[in-house]
Amino acid sequence: MSKHTPGPWAQNEDRVESANEHGWINDGWIVAGCAGPDAYANARLIAAAPEMLEALREAECALSLMHSYGHCEADSYTGARDVAQVRAGDALDKVSAAIAKATGEQQ
């Protein structure tokens, strides 16, 4: 698997840029340039890619835990279920934040 430019990435009009060697965003490397009537929206979506990947990895882990322990007896593996619920909550927060960034609704 090839590596990608490390995040965070940020939208700068119709471009997506990464942090430069000083950590400054919007003064770093151009990751992508977009054109056409949806250029700004496309740049915003692409800029959310590193956070979306991280959120999906967290969701995958949480869902895997939930799947593994979801068929347990009511009194068995209570601790594991608690861990799965916490991980699911953490993943949900990251997924929601990534979606908000991608759709331009971030706070």
Over residues 17-45, the pLDDT tens digits come to: 987 766 666 566 888 999 999 999 999 99
Q: Which two tokens stand for residue 63?
A: 């869902």
Residues 6+ apart with CB under 8 A from 56: 95
Short-list 20, 9, 19, CA closest to 46: 9
Task: Average the pLDDT over 77-100 and give the result.
Answer: 79
pLDDT at 1: 47
pLDDT at 96: 86
Residues 6+ apart with CB under 8 A from 13: 40, 43
Contact between 37 and 25 under an 8 Å Cβ cutoff? The reply is no
Residues 6+ apart with CB under 8 A from 46: 9, 11, 16, 31, 32, 34
- Specify which residues 15 forms β-bridges with: 12, 33
pTM of the model: 0.70
